[in-house]
Copies of this chain bind each other. A is one copy, B any other.
Amino acid sequence: MDPDSEPADIDVSSAVERLAGRVRRTPVIFPGPGAFGVAKELALKLECLQHAGSFKVRGSFNNALAAELPDSGLIAASGGNHGVAVAHVARSLGIGAEVFVPGVSSAVKVDRIRALGATVHVVGEVYDDAQAACDERAAQTHALNIHPYDASLTVAGQATLGVELLQQVDEIDTVVVAVGGGGLAAGLAAALPFNVRVLCVEPETSRCLSAAIEAGRPVQVDVGGVAADSLGAKTIGSVPWKLLADRVESVVVPDEAIVTARRRLWDDARVVAEHGGATALAAVTSGIVEFDPDERTVVVVCGSNTDPRDLLD
């Protein structure tokens, strides 16, 4: 069967049940018109305050709690955030974890994974290199290999963020979200009603979704830039792609716009995000996307595994 003809089976309801009491219901704030230099009122979903510092813990818990857990525990590859999340889940469940990260992963992320008790392997340059090494190791150990984005259970876990949003904000018109491998955006596409616009934002330097949309199919891109350790997937995941291809809009932003948005998040709202976490906001603050003043827009701030010491540099 052609996998592209099969709609992804994303069981959001089961994920909501599994994650009850396991993840934080992260707050939505309304910083007020004028914040970040944007005239319109924005809502910010502060998923950066989630356990393990990003939305990734949602998908990781959903995988682990749906499985019969092997004695060898959990295994995962990650730019970093998914690794922190898997380490957090393993510790919560009292099992072991091995995490493969690439050289581009920040020291803050590697340190956090270790501090949570997981074994860390630094392999290759970018995320895809670490994933290959992880898959090879998983075949030996039979640990539960939790994919950071290209798995239905992962996407369904991330979708619970969308379910929360529907409970927290009335009459959402647009949700703006950063895209790496596409897991969170696909989860939102699955969770939100068809008439909510899902606006996907990628760095110009790591743009596998916009490249896929141009090509009409997933294609490989080079990855780099300030957000490479959270958004640096070379190819959009095939599970996310099925949910995103005909559903979402996509834009890219330059790295400078991401750096500026991250700084303004701190200056105007006292929120510390990593560069990937500020990428969605960058589409708004840079003026690259224009919004109707009356449109109800929610921006997802998706991660904060960062070193705050470089915030004011």
Residues of A within 8 A of B (CB): 24-32, 46, 48-49, 51, 53, 266, 269-272, 304, 307-309, 311-312
Starting from the known contacts A24-B30, A270-B272, A309-B312, 5 additional A-B residue pairs (CB-CB under 8 Å) come to: A24-B32, A48-B270, A49-B271, A308-B312, A309-B309
How many copies make up the complex?
2
A21 and chain B: residue at smallest CB distance? B32
Select from chain B the residue with minimum beta-carbon distance to A50: B270
Q: Is the interface of A mostly helix, strand, loop or mixed?
A: loop
CB-CB < 8 A to A31: which residues of B?
Answer: 24
**Is the CB–CB distance between A49 and B307 below 8 Å?**
no
Knowing A309-B311, A312-B309, the reply to whether A270 touches B27 (Cβ < 8 A) is: no
Q: Please, which residues of chain B bring their CB within 8 A of the CB of A26? A: 29
Cβ of B311 and Cβ of A49 under 8 Å apart?
Answer: no
Residues of B within 8 Å of A304, CB to CB, are: 270
- Complex Cα distance, B53 from A309, in Å, reads 19
Which residue of B29, B48, B53, B308 is within 8 Å of A24 (Cβ)?
A: B29
Q: Are B312 and A49 in contact (CB under 8 A)?
A: no
B308 lies within 8 A of A266 (CB): yes
Residues of chain B within 8 A (CB-CB) of A27 are 27-29, 46
Q: Could you say which residues of chain B place their CB within 8 Å of the CB of A48? A: 270
Can you list 30 pairs linking A and B with CB atoms under 8 Å apart? A24-B29, A24-B30, A24-B31, A24-B32, A25-B30, A26-B29, A27-B27, A27-B28, A27-B29, A27-B46, A29-B49, A32-B51, A48-B270, A49-B269, A49-B270, A49-B271, A53-B270, A266-B272, A266-B308, A270-B272, A270-B304, A272-B272, A272-B308, A307-B312, A308-B308, A308-B309, A308-B312, A309-B309, A309-B311, A309-B312
Q: In the complex, which residue of chain B has the Cβ closest to the Cβ of A33?
A: B21
CA distance A29 to B266 in the complex (A): 19
Residue of B nearest to A305 (CB): B270
With a CB–CB cut-off of 8 A, which chain B residues contact A269?
Answer: 49
- Taking the closest CB of chain B, its distance from the CB of A25, in whole angstroms, is 7
- CB-nearest residue of chain B to A34: B92
By beta carbon, the residue of chain B nearest A269 is B49
